[in-house]
Amino acid sequence: MSVPTEEARPHRGPMGGFRLGSVWGFEIRIDYSWFVIAFLIFWSLTAGVFPYRLPDQPPATYSIMGLAGTILFFVSLLAHELSHSLVARTRGVEIAGITLFVFGGMAHTRGEADNPEDELAIAGVGPLSSLVIAIGFWIFAWMGGRAGWPAPVTVVAEYLALLNLILALFNTLPGFPLDGGRLFRAAVWRQTGDLTLATRWATQGGKALGYALIALGMLQVLMGAVIGGLWLVLIGWFLRTTAAMSFEQHMLSGALGALRAVQVMTRDPSTVRPDISMTDFVEGRLLREPHQGFPVVDGGRVLGLITLHHARSTPRERWGGTTVAEAMVPARDLIVTPESTLTDVLETMSGSGSNRVLVMDGTRLVGVISASDVSRWLQKERLIGGVAPGGPGAGVGGP
C-alpha cells in the first residue's frame, strides 16, 4: 500500500469539505475526497495487508482491524499536522485550520515564516512527530506481545508503526511541499538570504520528485502492480502540480505584498442612499451604471455596501418594501486603508464573504476595490513585466 503524502502550505482562502471539530483552537475539516482514500485504505488493510500478516482469521476480525487501522492512521496524520500548527503558532504564523483530504493532510496558514529558523522549526517537527508516533506504536505492539494481548491488536499496532515510519522518511525527501523540501528551502534561504531563490530550488526539487514517482509508478504498472503503480502516479502528479503552484503562490504573495490598496482602488466611487427601495436601486442605479457594487452613504457617513448579489438574494416581490439599508452588508467588516497591502485586501474579502472592500482614509471614503480589480491589475502587471508573478521585482530578492 502506498502512503498518502502531505501538505500544500501556505494556503489562503476558504477550506473545503465539512467541519469535523476543533483541537487546541485549530479547526479540523474533512474534504469530501478523503472518503475515497479512507475507503481504499480500509479495503487494502481488510482484504490484503492483515490477512497476509495474520492468516486464518474470521472476516469480521479483518474488518475490525481494517477499520481500526484506517482511523488510527488518519489520527496519526492529524497529529502530524497539529505538530506543524502548534509550532507555527509559537512562531507567530497564523493557522486557519487543518483539512484531511485524499493525499493526506494540509495545515492552512495565513502567510509564511519570517525567517529560515522558524521555517526549519515548523517543517522539521512534522517528520519528527511521525517518527515519535511510529516508536509509540512499536512500543505498544511490543508490550502487547509480552503481555499476551490478542494478536489482531499487536498486528495493527505494528503496521501503524511501519506506516508512520514510512511517512516520516518520505516527508524528509527534499521536494517542496514535503517537509524535506521546506527544510531544504530553509537551509538555502539561511545560506543565501534569498527566499525566492530558495523557493525556486525547493519547488524544482518537488517537481523532479513528482516526475520520478510518476516514472516509478508507470514502471510498476508495466510490471503488473497496477493499483500501487497508479497510486504512485497520482502522488507524483500531485507533488509536481503542487510544487509548481507553490512557487507561483510565493511570487503572487510577493506581488500582493508590494501593491497597496491606493494603487488598485476605483477612486470616488458612485454611492447610493440607504433609504431608497431596492426597486429604485436596481432600476435607477444598478441597471443604468457599469458598477455592480455601491457604497451606501448617508450624509457623508459610510454605512455599508450594496451589490448585485444582494439584489439577487432579495425576492423580487419584496424589492418595493425593502430599503437598501436593510439589504446591504455593514461597512465595519469591509474596511481597508489606502496603505493596506493587497494581501490584506484579499483577506478582508475572504473574511467578510464579500468580493468588494471599502477603502477608508479615516472616516472619508476614498475608493472601492473588487476582486476583479485585483485580477485585472495583476494581469496588466504580468503583461508589462511589473511586480506580478514572474516579473522582475516580484517576491523577495529575486534570483
DSSP structure string for 309-322: HHHHHS-GGGTTT-
Residue 148 gets the label, from left (phi > 0), alpha (psi -120 to 50) or beta, of left
Q: How many CB atoms lie within 10 A of CB 287?
A: 10
pLDDT tens for 167-180 read 999 999 998 889 99
Statement: residue 349 has pLDDT above 90:
no
For residues 229-233, average pLDDT: 87
User: For cell 425576492, what's the residue?
Assistant: 315
* Length reported for the chain: 399
Highest-pLDDT range among 155-159, 282-286, 350-354? 155-159
Q: Which CB contacts under 8 angstroms, 24+ apart, belong to 273-276? A: 273/297, 273/298, 273/324, 274/298, 274/303, 274/304, 274/323, 274/324, 274/325, 274/328, 275/323, 275/324, 275/325, 276/323, 276/324
Pairing relationship of beta strands 94-101 and 301-307 according to DSSP bridges: unpaired
d(CA 322, CA 316): 10
And the C-alpha cell for 268? 470616488
Q: Is residue 67 very low, low, confident or very high in pLDDT (cuts 50, 70, 90)?
A: very high
Q: Which domains, and CATH codes, for the chain? A: 18-258 (no CATH), 261-384 (3.10.580.10)
User: Which has the closest alpha carbon to 358: 350, 349, 367?
Assistant: 367
pLDDT tens for 40-54 read 899 999 998 999 999
d(CA 341, CA 361): 14
Residues recognised as catalytic: 81
d(CA 82, CA 74): 12
pLDDT tens for 256-289 read 777 888 988 989 888 999 999 999 999 999 898 8
pLDDT tens for 179-194 read 999 999 999 999 999 9
For residues 350-360, average pLDDT: 85
- Distance (Å) of CA 181 to CA 132, 170, 178, 347: 20, 11, 5, 27
For residues 245-258, average pLDDT: 76
CB 106 within 8 A of CB 6: yes
d(CA 177, CA 152): 36
* Average pLDDT along the chain: 85
Report yes or no on whether pTM surpasses 0.75: no
CB 179 within 8 A of CB 106: no
